[in-house]
Structure 1
Amino acid sequence: MRLIYLTILCLNVVFKVTGNDSSVMDDQMDGFDSWLFGATDEDYQIEETVLEEDNSDKTEESINDFLKTEEQTNSQTDEISLKDLNEKIKKLQRDQNTCQAKLTRLEAKIEDMKENYDERLTALEEASTTTEPSLYSLTTASSGASTVSPLSKPECKDYKILNEHTRSVYYSASLTTQDDGFCDMSPPWVSYGSVSPSWSGPGWYRFQPPAGSDLARRPVGRSYCGTSAAGWSNSKLPENPGETVDIKICFNSGGDTCKWSRAAKVTNCFSYNVYYLGETPNCRLRYCGSN
């Protein structure tokens, strides 16, 4: 068979060399293919169609395999993500339990501290009421005189509060009418202005924010402290806990820093002072607070 095919190829070369029409030889080759292999052009077209359909089936199969692989990969990824999420939730629950345990221990410590504080306070109060000298008595370095403990001073535990924000030396009121402004005077002596909300007559008082933590130590002008004449004092205050001294409180008005005055007492209660205050000389005079 090979010999026949080689003979035909040689004849084709001879035709081309001798200048004969190559198309004649091509037709002869086509006829030879039909005789030798029994195949026609239609047979070749059918074979090409079969190959294309086969390739199409393989392509579709490859796409399905790829989609299946992707689906498996995504499923595995989702499982991993869900597992990580569950681990994080468990960790948060463990952290919450740990914080709750710490909070419980802290609350227990606070309760213990309260109990210890109450016990110590009771012991100090009992010691301060004894007639024998005790460790809680304080002695001044200058005179050597014994000073009573603040815990034994009733005014250090039983006092009233002055804490209005309008009582601060930094507050300025609009005094356009006689009814504007406050005074530390009880009815029926109030002729104009208003009685301060926290004023309840003569007695021991403690200044607290936002009014301030103590009595003002310098004069301020009209309308400050929510009044017409602001009360202040530059008297020397007690230095030793439990010590009580007399002071003078002035009221600033019309350029006179001490146009009116009032005698008062002040007791050192260790971390704060309390004042025994009387009624102001007239209305729109007020005891002012500062820090």
Structure 2
Amino acid sequence: MYLKALEIQGFKSFPDKTTLTFEKDITAIVGPNGSGKSNISDALLWVMGEQRSRALRGGKMEDVIFGGTEKRSPLGFAQVSLTLDNSAGLFPIDAPEVVITRRYYRTGESEYSINRESVRLKDITELLMDTGLGRDGYSVIGQGRIAEIVSARSTDRREIFEEAAGISRFRYRKEEAERKLERTEENLVRINDKIDELSMQVGPLEKQAETAKKFLVLRDEQRTLEISAWMETLDRLHEQSETVNAEFQQASDNLAAANAELEGIYASGEEFSAQMRECDLETEAVREKLSACEARAAEGESAAAVLRT
């Protein structure tokens, strides 16, 4: 297993995508101060999961993103990809190469992938265990690191030796299992406390349940009685409605008969009016004849008076 390539984009002093390829032989990176040599080793540590800003020579994680210059604007993310040779099958991945990628945004979001498949940081950490790689591995030794190892506590040196011996993976899994066991025990304690709390509530809850059952029974009885009362009222209203309908029909029949009788009276009145008009005409004719007779009588009396004289 060896480092085949390192691709950097937006990381510290590398705004543009830059790819460094490595062969199996020794590769030396040289350049003047400030040219970015240390940033390459920082990129290696960072892509392998380093989370401490101080270890990356920064104040905060956002400092790993290219901050801009007078001629270039700051970028919104940093990305580093590490390509490792896997022809010997050191990694449990069925591929000749293993490409680990890490991307970080200014918003604080992080993305990790192995061979372009999204993974967690934990997956990368477990993959690199016992290989000497990783953020705490011995594959990247910076300035002053030897002095730190020599002056380190025995427990810290033991972790380095365990990493080199290939047993750190088992220690990590043991610690992970112990943490899970501890969390499980804490959950059991909380569950037992909850069971005790619920046990104390069982009695009152049973009484409340019994009261609720009685309430439901009484409510059902009340509904049954209300329905019966409404049904009786409805039947009574139906009977009253039938009676009213019969009375209404009788009244309608009586009204029709009265209307027929009234029409007959109107017809008789019209006939009587016609007879009255005929009588008036006859009376007027008689009056005219009477007036004529009276006139002739007066003329006769006048003539008789003349004859007497």
TM-score, with structure 1 as normaliser? 0.27
Structure possessing the higher relative contact order (Cα contacts under 8 Å, 6 or more residues apart): 1
Higher-Rg structure is: 2
Flag the structure with higher helix content. 2
Give the TM-score normalised by structure 2.
Answer: 0.26
